[in-house]
Amino acid sequence: MDNLNSFIIARAFHVFAIVLWIGGVAFVTTTLLPAIKNMKDVTSKLALFEQLEGRFAFQARITTLITGISGYAMLEIMNAWDRYQQLQF
């Protein structure tokens, strides 16, 4: 039962991190870049992009780390490392 609880927690962290990571990429691609493209002042464009992208870069680093650690934990809990040797997986 302890392994099941650990797996559930690891999967919850994994899904949460992926949602934040992909959501951030979607925001930058669909909202931030088009909005900056429509701005007239080049200096303002660069300043706004650097400010917002810098914050997202921090979020992306953290969520990537959480995704990797939780993915590793799930593989360890399931003892599923051998799946990487099988084409069906």
| Chain center to CA of 40 | 32
**Tens digit of each residue's pLDDT (9 = 90 or more) over 40-70:** 888 888 888 888 888 888 999 999 999 999 9
Q: Where along the chain do its domains lie?
A: 2-78
Whole-prediction pTM value?
A: 0.79
**Tens digit of each residue's pLDDT (9 = 90 or more) over 62-71:** 999 999 999 9
Q: What is the dihedral of CA 82, 15, 57, 65, to 10 degrees?
A: -40
**Tens digit of each residue's pLDDT (9 = 90 or more) over 4-26:** 999 999 999 999 999 999 998 99
